[in-house]
Amino acid sequence: MKDRYQVVVIGGGIVGASVLYHLTLRGLTDVALVERAELTAGSSWHAAGGFHAINADTHIAALQKYTIGMYPTVEQESGQSVGLHMTGGLELAGTPERWEWLKTELAWLRTMDTEAYLVSPDEAAAMCPIIDPAGLQGALFDPHEGNLDPHGATHAYAGAARRRGAEVVLHNRVLSVERLAGGDWRLETELGPVTTEHVVNAAGLWARKVGRMVGVDHPLVPMQHHYLVTEDVPEVAAIDGVMPSVTDLEGFTYLQREKNGVLLGVYEQNPRHWQVDGPGWDYGMELIPKEIERISPELSIGFDRFPALQKAGIKRWVNGAITFTPDGNPLVGPVSGVPNYWAACGVMAGFSQCAAIGLALANWIVDGDPGADVFGMDVARFGAFAAEDGYLRALTSQFYARRFVMAYPNEELPAGRPLKTSPAFDDLADAGARFGAVWGLEVPLFFAPGDPAFEEEPSLRRSNAHDLVGEEVAAVRTAAGAYETAAYARYEVSGAGAEAWLDRILACRIPPPGRVRLAPVLRETGTLMGDLTVTRLSDDRFWLVGSYYLQEWHLRWFRDLLPPRGVELRNLSDAWVGFSVSGPSSRLIVQRAIDADLSAEAMPFLTARLMAFDGADAMVARLSLTGELGYEVTVPAAYHRSLLRALRSSGDGDGLRLVGDRAIDSLRLEKAYGIWSAEFTQAYTPGMSGLERFVAFDKGAFIGREAAQRERDRGPAQRLVLLEVAADGADASGDEPVWRDGTRVGFVTSGAFGHHVGRSLALAYVDSAVAEDSPALSVHIVGDERPARILPEPPYDPSGSRMRDI
């Protein structure tokens, strides 16, 4: 071991080894992996080694495909077998609802260009003869599944990295990690001190402990996980050829061939955490005592589904620990305020994701950019709240137990709630709000006034809340709706250097005092980093408004770019909250509530002012997300409830209704407005998304300008369009493929029923030629292919006069 490296990776599991290899692929050779014991000595050695490309996040699914494709390469480079078996995999549907869900999943998979297909129960049993097809509805077969030898795969990555110049240091625990005054890291290790420019936390089960060495509490926790391996099973031995792996979704088990027997793993409904702060440093390659009674309900379903196992002897029981995060995806990337410390931990499915993590992290370290939309595994998608013990345990238990349970687009899960509530929460609840959770914050989805017993049914189709949402939409179009804006993030930027700094990080022209502007934020690659609004309160004071759940992510970006002096950045997200009131009566209602002149002359479209409300400041901005005349009123949190009460007493007689997220989705689709996470993400560009019209190409330099200009010159390959879908009781929800004459030409980003215009609408990215031609298209919705057409303009008020000209 040398005493200095450019990068030190802590941890020699499959993830650390892959990160090391990918660093060498990017040309870094002054790199070392430091491992406490042997390679694989954490979770990796006793993994079942199964892998698959399917992930609910399409970008992560693409990266998982990359992981699977890398195994033959590292095997060849290292000369170490990874024991790859590309068997394909079956997902079994045991109920009609699950069968419908699988058909929907197949459509999503088409968006990712996978070759998966549906098979009948008999076909599934023919592919894997130990399945009892009784009661099955069918199955989904995905050829991009299989299993490998976890030990071989880890050694292959480490070996290939070594051949490219990296060093692997075994039996050397990292004892502490400390930041030196010059910016380097100093690691105390059992073999002596090492300094390094970058340090990567790939410490798996111990990652929380290693994170705490640098003052970071990662939201990850080990959980127990069981599988068993049988002795030879004659019915398996008799299978001539490949036996696909099988996931019995209703049975909570997965199965794969192990020589002439099988490995049967369980995602039990009653999971257990294990060593929540990480195991002791001396924990070896040991197993946790098995808890057969706890997993027996799921095992007995497994033995019914695979009856040949009932007579099989059990050769080996494995109860090991896997780290879980609140959403089951890994924690990857830089951590705000801890320069050159990189997370590569919280990895539940290391053998599906190791190369994806290695690739993203190596790109990030070398280029300052992961090279793809990796928000789904970005460490900055969580805030500090997620590492709080009770919350973390609740969310990870829920995730584990629901690993194979159907997830519906309209479903809100109960774990860890309520965590954060706005000051008006009780009033909103009393008014019938049904809440969802955004970044731990309770936000109204819709209101069921006067019906405390109402519960929305999880569904792929229009739910029983459809008509309630319709009433909220009608109120906004004909009178007014008040939408709580607690789920907006707000940042104040001030100081002598504020304007110049914003001019560089925002792609729009900086507005004059008193004006509001839509402000795309770009990366150097020309892809989107935000869809903010910027409000200028005075020469040197601005507000940026964005999405609440992106706070950590945006703040990391801003802080990295802040100059050493002259600009102050404050996060006001929980300190200021408000309501967005829109609709033809909104002026009257807001004017009365806050006792101010909001006439068109006093307050034209896209202006903002601080006004007095009950002795406090209220920030009033004239804009709306609904396409109607509207005002966003934001007050210090202590006044939030008073503001709601003032709005309601002013508006009750004029048809004001409280409205939630679902109504906003319907209203914004009628206007073809996109939102972050759907139409706008870091995978898309201003040209694709239509945000180009807010980019001031003719102003001075700003981040991303050259790349965005290049794209503008050649034209984007895909464009965002609004589709009208001939839907039948179900609307698009996102990720559905868009077809033209049997060829996939795009995918849906979000969909909703436009209650006012009476049409099913979807925003979609389609090939630019298709966007220009406007041909007959179709969209898969809940497994059915439905006709669709591109709307040349929004179906509601295409000129925008209702919002602007009143």
Give the distance, in angstroms, between the CA of residue 39 and the centroid of all CA atoms in the same chain. 31
Cβ proximity to ligand FAD: between 191 and 602 the closer is 191
The answer to whether residue 394 forms part of the interface with ligand FAD (CB under 6 A) is no
Q: In this structure, what DSSP letter does residue 485 have? A: -
The answer to whether residue 279 forms part of the interface with ligand FAD (CB under 6 A) is no
Please identify, among the stretches 199-207, 425-433, 627-635, 739-747, the one whose residues bind ligand FAD according to the rule CB under 6 A: 199-207
Please name which of 790, 778, 725, 719 lies closest in space to residue 751, comparing C-alpha atoms: 725
Residue from 11, 383, 530, 660 touching ligand FAD (CB under 6 A): that is 11
Please identify, among the stretches 33-41, 385-393, 526-534, 555-563, the one whose residues bind ligand FAD according to the rule CB under 6 A: 33-41
User: What tokens appear for 109 in the block?
Assistant: 């998979």
Amino acid present at 368: G
How many residues at the interface with ligand FAD, by CB under 6 A? 42
Which x/- pattern, by CB under 6 A, does the window 165-184 give for ligand FAD?
--------xx----------
Interaction residues for ligand FAD, span 673-712 (CB under 6 A): none
Please identify, among the stretches 8-16, 229-237, 301-309, 593-601, the one whose residues bind ligand FAD according to the rule CB under 6 A: 8-16
The backbone torsions φ and ψ at residue 716, rounded to the nearest 5 degrees and listed phi first, read -70, 150
Cβ proximity to ligand FAD: between 350 and 627 the closer is 350
3-state secondary structure 181-215: CCCCEEEEECCEEEEEEEEEECCHHHHHHHHHHCC
H/E element holding 148?
none
Dist. CA 157–CA 249, nearest whole Å: 32
As measured in angstroms, the least distance from the Cβ of 46 to ligand FAD is 5
Cβ proximity to ligand FAD: between 24 and 573 the closer is 24
The answer to whether residue 50 forms part of the interface with ligand FAD (CB under 6 A) is yes
As measured in angstroms, the least distance from the Cβ of 125 to ligand FAD is 23
As measured in angstroms, the least distance from the Cβ of 19 to ligand FAD is 9
Interaction residues for ligand FAD, span 349-368 (CB under 6 A): 349-352
Please identify, among the stretches 1-9, 132-140, 340-348, 682-690, the one whose residues bind ligand FAD according to the rule CB under 6 A: 340-348
Within 10 angstroms of residue 628's Cβ, the number of other Cβ atoms is 25
As measured in angstroms, the least distance from the Cβ of 126 to ligand FAD is 25
Please identify, among the stretches 49-57, 115-123, 363-371, 734-742, the one whose residues bind ligand FAD according to the rule CB under 6 A: 49-57
**Three-state DSSP state, 657:** strand
The answer to whether residue 153 forms part of the interface with ligand FAD (CB under 6 A) is no
As measured in angstroms, the least distance from the Cβ of 140 to ligand FAD is 19
Can you spell out the DSSP letters for 312-381?
PPEEEEEEEEEEE-TTS--EEEEETTEEEEEEEE--S-HHHHHHHHHHHHHHHHHHSS-SS--GGGBGGG
Question: Is 533:544 a contact under the CB 8 Å cutoff?
Answer: yes
Residue 314 CA: distances (Å) to CA of 227, 266, 311, 466: 11, 15, 10, 51
Residue 397 CA: distances (Å) to CA of 27, 414, 418, 456: 40, 11, 16, 23
The answer to whether residue 348 forms part of the interface with ligand FAD (CB under 6 A) is yes
Dist. CA 195–CA 172, nearest whole Å: 15
Dist. CA 409–CA 343, nearest whole Å: 30
Please identify, among the stretches 320-328, 369-377, 539-547, 720-728, the one whose residues bind ligand FAD according to the rule CB under 6 A: 320-328
- Own/partner long-range contacts of 707-714 (Cβ < 8 Å, ≥24 apart): 707/522, 707/524, 707/525, 707/526, 707/527, 708/507, 708/522, 708/526, 710/526, 711/526, 711/685, 711/686, 711/687, 712/686, 712/687
As measured in angstroms, the least distance from the Cβ of 108 to ligand FAD is 21
Q: What's the chain's length in residues?
A: 806
As measured in angstroms, the least distance from the Cβ of 155 to ligand FAD is 12
As measured in angstroms, the least distance from the Cβ of 256 to ligand FAD is 8
Cβ proximity to ligand FAD: between 17 and 25 the closer is 17
Is 65 buried (19+), middle (13-18) or exposed (0-12) by CB count in 10 A?
buried
As measured in angstroms, the least distance from the Cβ of 71 to ligand FAD is 12
Amino acid present at 403: R
Please identify, among the stretches 299-307, 313-321, 534-542, 787-795, the one whose residues bind ligand FAD according to the rule CB under 6 A: 313-321
Residue from 32, 35, 419, 593 touching ligand FAD (CB under 6 A): that is 35
Cβ proximity to ligand FAD: between 285 and 726 the closer is 285
Question: Is 157:151 a contact under the CB 8 Å cutoff?
Answer: no
Is 743 buried (19+), middle (13-18) or exposed (0-12) by CB count in 10 A?
exposed
The answer to whether residue 48 forms part of the interface with ligand FAD (CB under 6 A) is yes
Q: Where are the alpha helices (DSSP H) in 574-732?
A: 586-594, 640-651, 661-670, 686-689, 705-714
The answer to whether residue 204 forms part of the interface with ligand FAD (CB under 6 A) is yes
Q: In this structure, what DSSP letter does residue 470 have? A: H
Q: Tell the residue number behind the tokens 């080990």, with chain if given.
A: 222
Residue from 43, 78, 410, 624 touching ligand FAD (CB under 6 A): that is 43
H/E element holding 469?
helix 466-478
Residue from 25, 148, 205, 788 touching ligand FAD (CB under 6 A): that is 205
As measured in angstroms, the least distance from the Cβ of 151 to ligand FAD is 11
The answer to whether residue 14 forms part of the interface with ligand FAD (CB under 6 A) is yes
Cβ proximity to ligand FAD: between 47 and 803 the closer is 47
The answer to whether residue 85 forms part of the interface with ligand FAD (CB under 6 A) is no
The answer to whether residue 16 forms part of the interface with ligand FAD (CB under 6 A) is yes
Please identify, among the stretches 30-38, 434-442, 503-511, 582-590, the one whose residues bind ligand FAD according to the rule CB under 6 A: 30-38
The answer to whether residue 202 forms part of the interface with ligand FAD (CB under 6 A) is yes
Residue from 23, 32, 46, 370 touching ligand FAD (CB under 6 A): that is 46
Please identify, among the stretches 32-40, 69-77, 491-499, 749-757, the one whose residues bind ligand FAD according to the rule CB under 6 A: 32-40
The answer to whether residue 264 forms part of the interface with ligand FAD (CB under 6 A) is no
The answer to whether residue 206 forms part of the interface with ligand FAD (CB under 6 A) is yes
Question: Is 222:323 a contact under the CB 8 Å cutoff?
Answer: yes
As measured in angstroms, the least distance from the Cβ of 578 to ligand FAD is 42
Cβ proximity to ligand FAD: between 110 and 155 the closer is 155
Dist. CA 738–CA 744, nearest whole Å: 6
The answer to whether residue 216 forms part of the interface with ligand FAD (CB under 6 A) is no
Amino acid present at 770: V
The answer to whether residue 13 forms part of the interface with ligand FAD (CB under 6 A) is yes
As measured in angstroms, the least distance from the Cβ of 330 to ligand FAD is 8
The answer to whether residue 158 forms part of the interface with ligand FAD (CB under 6 A) is no
As measured in angstroms, the least distance from the Cβ of 683 to ligand FAD is 24
The answer to whether residue 225 forms part of the interface with ligand FAD (CB under 6 A) is yes
Cβ proximity to ligand FAD: between 16 and 370 the closer is 16
Please identify, among the stretches 269-277, 314-322, 468-476, 738-746, the one whose residues bind ligand FAD according to the rule CB under 6 A: 314-322
Is 217 buried (19+), middle (13-18) or exposed (0-12) by CB count in 10 A?
middle
H/E element holding 102?
helix 96-111
User: What tokens appear for 742 in the block?
Assistant: 């049997």
The answer to whether residue 294 forms part of the interface with ligand FAD (CB under 6 A) is no
The answer to whether residue 498 forms part of the interface with ligand FAD (CB under 6 A) is no
Please name which of 518, 623, 638, 537 lies closest in space to residue 580, comparing C-alpha atoms: 623
Cα torsion through 349, 64, 715, 534, rounded to 10? 0
Query: Which positions lie near ligand FAD, rule CB under 6 A?
Result: 10-16, 34-37, 41-44, 46-51, 173-174, 202-206, 210, 225, 227, 318, 320-322, 345, 347-352
